[in-house]
Amino acid sequence: GETGRMLLRIVELPSLPQGQYFEVWSEQKPKPDRLVGLIKPPLRYDILYTLDSMINASALLVKGVANAQGKSLVVCQASIVE
């Protein structure tokens, strides 16, 4: 729609250690990636997760994040095709 909001359905994501969660980022080169949503345990495969505006985004990145260290690891990436 006009707002650029998207709904994300999870099909499969790796399990995370206790206390970790997933971040969803939009890629808008040459601008920096932008955080557009969080997926926190328990993972739900029967709902749609709402993301913030994705206008002008070319790709979607899902990163696993550890609360304590703050280190993140990209677990999947998807190109956005209109």
Q: Give the model confidence (pLDDT) of 12-60 as tens digits.
A: 888 888 888 899 999 888 999 999 999 988 888 899 999 998 888 888 8
Question: Whole-model pTM above 0.85?
Answer: no
Do residues 69 and 59 lie in contact, with contact meaning Cβ atoms separated by under 8 Å? no
- Alpha carbon 76 to chain centroid, angstroms: 9
Is 63 within 8 Å of 20 (Cβ atoms)? no
**Residue that has been written with the tokens 């190109």 in this structure:** 79
